[in-house]
Structure 1
C-alpha cells in the first residue's frame, strides 16, 4: 500500500465532521470531484469502504471511523512539527553553543542569559569556558556558534568579530598593603604578583603594560580563573591586574583595594561568529540580546 496522504486524511475527516462531500469541498476549498477522488484513492489503498453514503448525511464505517481517529492524531503531529520548525527557523527555539572566559561568565553573562530567557525562553545556551584562542579555533571548526573573545585577535577565515565591551584593567591589592593612589608598573613590579596563565590574552596584555615601562616581572602563581585570583588577593597572597566590570565595586571583594593603573590599560571584548546568512535563528536572536549589552567604542 502506498503511503497515506495527509490531504486525503483531512478530506476524510472533513466529510465525517460536516456530513457531506459538498460541505467538505467548500470548507477545504477543493472541487467536489477532488474530494471524491481523495476518498476513492483511500478506499482503494485500504481495500475497504470508509463512508456510508446516506440520503442526507454521510457516515463513517468502522474502518473509516478508526482511520479518522488516527488521522486526527497524525494531522495534529504534523501541525506541531511545522510549528516547531517555524519557531526554530525564526529563532524562537534552538540551542546556541557559546564560548567565553570565566570573568565574563561570572559578571556579565548571567545578565545576558536572564534577558534572553525573558525574550526567548525556548533558546538553550550551552556555555563552554575557554580562552579566546581556543574559542576562535572552535568557531572555525564549527563546534561553537558564538564566542566572546578578547581583542584584537588574529583574523580567522569566515569569522566576524565586532566590538562588544571595554573594561578598565585595575590593580587588585590586599587592603593591608600601603599603595599609591595610582599603580605604576615600577611600583607593582616590586610586589608579589598573581598572573593569568601565559597562554591567555590577559597575560600578554598585562606583560605588554609592564614591558612598555621596561619591566618583566615574574608571578608567584599563574592561573586562568579570575575569581580564584581575586580570592588569593583577598587572602593577602599577592596583587593581580584584572578587568573591572562597570557593575563591579570594591565592596564585593573583602580585604581588597581596587586601584587604577598609570598608565591606564583597557581590556576589549568582541563578539565572534560566522556571517549572518550562515547562522540559524536562535544564534541571531542571541546576537541581538548581546547587542543590548554592547558599549559604544
Structure 2
C-alpha cells in the first residue's frame, strides 16, 4: 500500500474547499481519474470514508475534516521547507561552517562578520577554532565548508586553496625591556620566549627564522592562543613572535612593544574550500565577503569595505 503523500492531501483539501472532484481536478491541473485515485488511496490507507459523495457538492466526513486539518499544516510546513532551501541555495540565508585559528578569529574575522551581517543578515557562520591541518581534514570529511589556513599547504585535488592575506610577523616585547628598533635572531635568541605550540605553522615559521641564523632556542612556555600570549608578554613573562593585526595596525597594544624583524618574516594565509560546484549559495556568498578583505600578494594594505 502506498504511503501518505502530500499530493494526496492536496487533492483532499482541494475537493473539500471547492466542493467537486471536477473543480479540484481543474484547480490542480490533474485529470479527474487521478483525483479519484488519490482519494481512493487515502481511504484505503485509513480504512474509512473521507468524503460523502452525492448531491451537488461533495462534503467531508469527520475523519476527512481531521485529515484535512493536519494536511493543511503539513502543506504549509512543506512550503516553508521549499522556501528555506531556496533561500539557502540562493545564498541569502543559511549556515556556513568555518574553520579558523584563534588568532585569525580575533584579528581578522570581526570585520568580515560585520560586513557579512550588513549584506547577508540571515547567513549564520558556525566557527570552529582549528589549526590548519585540522581545518583541511574537516573540509575533506565534509564537516566544514570553508577554512582559513596557513600557507603553503600540500596540494589536494579535493580542496582549493588560494592566497588571502600576508601579515608581517613582529616581535612582541614587554614594555620594560630595552630593545633595539629592529629585532634580529642574534638579539632575541637568548631572551625568555613564548612560542606557539610545536604542532602549529606559526611555530615552524618562528623556528625556521631562528634556524636560518644558526639558533635553536627553547621556549619558556608554549601555547596556541594569540591573545593569551600577548597577555604573558605584557606581564613581562617573555617575548613572542606573532603576526601584526594589519586589519587595524594602529590599534594600541598596552604594556607591549612591537618591533619589526630582520630578516622580515611574513605569514601567508589562504582560504580553503571544496569545489565551488559543491558549495551552497550561503557558502559562496561568504567567500565573496572574504574576498573583499583579500590582499594581493605583496600588498601592504588591507582591502576594506565602507
**Could you tell me the TM-score, scaled by structure 2's length?**
0.82
Q: Structure 1 stretch 214-223 or stretch 238-247: which is displaced more?
A: 214-223
Aligned equivalent of 1:4: 4
Contact 2:103 2:226 in 1 (8 A): yes
Cα deviation 1:258-278 (Å, max 9, x = unaligned): 122223221111112222233
Could you tell me how far apart the structure 2 residues matched to 1:153 and 1:84 are? 36
SS of equivalent residue, structure 1 residue 270: strand
Cα deviation 1:60-86 (Å, max 9, x = unaligned): 333332332222122223223333343
Aligned equivalent of 1:289: 289
Quickly say closer, same or farther: Cα 1:200–1:40, change in 2 above 3 A: closer
Quickly say closer, same or farther: Cα 1:156–1:224, change in 2 above 3 A: same
Gaps of 5+ in 2: 298-306
Contact 2:140 2:158 in 1 (8 A): yes
Could you tell me how far apart the structure 2 residues matched to 1:82 and 1:188 are? 61
Q: Structure 1 stretch 87-96 or stretch 267-276: which is displaced more?
A: 87-96
Could you tell me how far apart the structure 1 residues matched to 2:272 and 2:212 are? 29
Quickly say closer, same or farther: Cα 1:190–1:94, change in 2 above 3 A: same
Aligned equivalent of 1:266: 266
Quickly say closer, same or farther: Cα 1:245–1:8, change in 2 above 3 A: same
Where do 4+ consecutive residues of structure 1 move more than 6 Å?
A: none
Gaps of 5+ in 1: none
**Aligned residue pairs: how many?**
296
Shift of 1:95: 4.3
Shift of 1:119: 4.3
Could you tell me how far apart the structure 1 residues matched to 2:93 and 2:180 are? 52
Aligned equivalent of 2:213: 213
Could you tell me how far apart the structure 2 residues matched to 1:102 and 1:289 are? 20
Quickly say closer, same or farther: Cα 1:196–1:37, change in 2 above 3 A: closer
SS of equivalent residue, structure 2 residue 86: helix
Contact 1:250 1:256 in 2 (8 A): no
Could you tell me how far apart the structure 1 residues matched to 2:210 and 2:35 are? 82
Shift of 1:175: 2.1
**Could you tell me the TM-score, scaled by structure 1's length?**
0.85
Aligned equivalent of 1:139: 139
Cα deviation 1:232-276 (Å, max 9, x = unaligned): 221122222110112344653211121222232211111122222
Contact 1:175 1:256 in 2 (8 A): yes
Could you tell me how far apart the structure 2 residues matched to 1:134 and 1:34 are? 54
Could you tell me how far apart the structure 1 residues matched to 2:27 and 2:59 are? 18
Shift of 1:108: 1.5
Contact 1:193 1:238 in 2 (8 A): yes
Contact 1:51 1:64 in 2 (8 A): no
Structure-to-structure mapping, 1:187-202, within 5 angstroms: 187-202=187-202
